[in-house]
Chain A
Amino acid sequence: MNVIVCVKQIPDPAAPGALDGATNTLKRDGKLILDDSDAYGVEMALQLVDKAGGGEVSLISMAPNGETAGLRTALAMGAAKGVLVSDPALQGSDALTTAKVLAAAVKKLGGADLIIGATESSDGYTGTVPEQMAELLGLPSVTFAKKVSVEGGVLKVDRQTEEGYDEVTCPMPALISVTAGVVEPRYPSFKGIMAAKSKPVEEVTASDLGVTPVGWAGAGQQITNVAQAEARQAGEIIEDDGESFAKIVGFLENLKAI
């Protein structure tokens, strides 16, 4: 079974976010890392291929500045190879354009039995890219997967819903998006990290893939204003001295909640 995993490379989420003053988009010029959200997909793919007893995990990523650090992390976990679509023209691309680029990367790899993305990325969180890819590739999809197995060549997925979950079956080839916590991502071993250095990552541009227009030209939208939201007034902060519960009781009384 061959699986392709979407891996987004993002600025370290621990660092405070900033907007590029010129374009009003999120700054993505520093070192990028593997989005945690996609680590679940990589792990899921490795486990499914392992269970199937054959096949490999390939990665696709789109990043404007030739970054591969996040891809290397996923390769160190055990993926076999990757395709990086990198092109200065991609700056400012919307989710639909991103999906077109990634769908073209899937085709370049010759497709797969299964394509995995995350429910949403940590920095962009539009949460539409995987489902858009499925439509572009003409595939069935199961989004928000919280449990995945393959039985007799058919996907069995518990799909998270607002009130519980649905049991869904789906023939392959297909695309799924996985939620955080679906599996426990492994830490790359030292051997894995060393091996990742020599694994192939092919770098292509959007136009190599035949996807145009991209970036601002393809976005169908334009940022027209950026403003600060009204801040909440700071309240009263007290250290617990053993009696602070009474403060809460008084607060609730004042609001006639009790």
Chain B
Amino acid sequence: MALNNVWVFAQVANGAPTSATLELLTKARSLSSSVTAFIAGDGNAAAAALGEYGATKVYAADTGKNLPGVAIASAMKAVIDGGETPDLVMFPQNYEGRDVMSRLSVKIDKTVITNNVDIVDSGNGVTVVTPIFGGNTLVSTTFTGAAPFLAAFRPKSFAAESAGGAAAAVTAVSVPDLGATGGAQVNAVHVEETTGPKLDEANIVVAGGRGLGEAPAYAMVDELATILKGAPGASRAIVDAGWVPYSYQVGQTGKVVKPNIYIAAGISGATQHMVGMKGSKNIIAINKDKEAPIFGVADLGIVGDVHKVLPKLIEALKGR
């Protein structure tokens, strides 16, 4: 089927669209000539960038203190009820994206297919591709029934490329009365301070796992990342243990990274970790267990103790 009208749930951070948003817009414009970005907050600030990457129209909804999930989904539903007919709504596979698509799927009674890395419109069906078993197997699923189709994509599934488009036209839409569903209110926002490149944008990522033994040993990972002008990352095991904040987590439920170089120190390579870093160009792994699954994807694998290898490596690099 022809996708005449594609919507993208767009997100902004510090006034600019997130990279996941630009990736989705790039893909959306290859699927359809009419691409609409749906955004929480001020659409005007982002209209130029959204237009540049392919959005022709922006719907902006002021969500106030509401969590964006229920508020944006309600605003989307109101626009659909007003007569607009999106064939496909694309979401980033992240916290906010998940909340919006879940609420919308119920409001319009449509299935939502999550965790995708690709989408194909064959002309007689729209098919999404989802990796399972740590990305070893790719499952293609075709939407049945009538549009709109709802699909969520993992970050970095598509390369963001500017189309050189003009600023998108912004239409403010209001959030309908949410009744009881709008009861949750955000009263304070806490942002963790970080220095250096962002984890999902860094050219080099140094990640640590439970093999470091104890929280203070993470300082080695931090130091190596700093020396290499990269970003420090982590497995979920040490995030859950409270050694580092969640924003460090790489994997299925954390960030997807595709740096030039990924160094995994004391990480076993669980499938949920691998889906977040397997796309790295070059992978170096240090693990004392030569059977660790991480070695299956490593370009250079060191079977050894992180407490012996990392200090020497840091020393050698410092001396340069």
Contact = CB atoms under 8 A, between A and B. Distances in A.
A138 B73 CA distance: 14
B180 A167 contact: no
B136 A141 contact: no
Nearest to A100: B106
Given A119-B253, A138-B179, A245-B312, A257 B261 contact: yes
B131 interface: yes
A54 interface: no
A130 B135 CA distance: 25
Interface stretch (B159-167, B214-222, B291-299): B291-299
A237 interface: yes
A229 B136 contact: yes
A94 B303 CA distance: 42
A155 to B, nearest CB: 8
Given A95-B111, A163-B191, A164-B191, A237 B204 contact: no
Chain B interface size, under 10 / 10 to 19 / 20 to 34 / 35 or more: 35 or more
Contacts of B320: 258
A139 B140 contact: no
A99 B98 CA distance: 14
B140 A245 contact: no
Interface in A81-135: 94-96, 99, 119-120, 125-132, 134-135
A170 B278 CA distance: 39
Contacts of B61: none
Interface in B182-200: 182-192
A152 to B, nearest CB: 14
A17 B145 CA distance: 30
Contacts of B188: 166-167
B182 A251 contact: no
Contact of B299 (A159, A228, A236): A236
Main secondary structure of the interface of A (DSSP, over half): mixed
A220 B301 contact: no
Given A225-B140, A226-B138, A247-B300, A143 B94 contact: no
Given A126-B114, A235-B300, A168 B143 contact: no
B226 interface: no
A189 interface: no
A236 to B, nearest CB: 6
Contacts of A228: 136-138
B305 A240 contact: yes
Contacts of B189: 161, 164, 166-167
A232 interface: yes
A219 interface: yes
Contacts of A95: 105, 111-112, 114
A30 interface: no
A131 B317 contact: no
A246 B107 CA distance: 58
B252 interface: yes
A164 B190 contact: yes
A224 interface: yes
Contacts of A146: 246
Nearest to B229: A257
Contacts of B317: 249, 252, 258
A248 B236 CA distance: 25
Contact of B298 (A128, A227, A237, A240): A237
Given A138-B180, A258-B317, A220 B111 contact: yes
B95 A162 contact: yes
A246 B240 CA distance: 33
A222 B105 contact: no
A157 to B, nearest CB: 8
A65 interface: no
A257 B105 CA distance: 45
B99 interface: yes
B85 interface: no
Given A140-B183, A141-B184, A170-B184, A222 B309 contact: no
A94 B263 CA distance: 37
Contact of A245 (B13, B139, B184, B316): B316
Contacts of B260: 255, 257
A208 B284 CA distance: 55
B145 to A, nearest CB: 5
A126 B97 CA distance: 12
A149 interface: no
B255 to A, nearest CB: 8
Contacts of B309: 240, 244-245, 248
B102 A135 contact: yes
Given A140-B180, A159-B67, 8 more contacts: A127-B114, A128-B98, A128-B102, A220-B143, A224-B125, A228-B137, A235-B298, A237-B295
Q: Pick the 6 closest A-B CB pairs, nearest first.
A: A240-B304, A140-B183, A131-B102, A220-B111, A235-B299, A181-B240
27 contacts: A19-B137, A94-B111, A95-B111, A96-B110, A120-B253, A126-B115, A134-B103, A140-B180, A163-B192, A164-B190, A166-B186, A174-B183, A181-B241, A220-B143, A221-B144, A223-B140, A224-B127, A236-B301, A237-B298, A239-B304, A240-B302, A242-B308, A245-B309, A247-B300, A247-B302, A248-B302, A255-B282
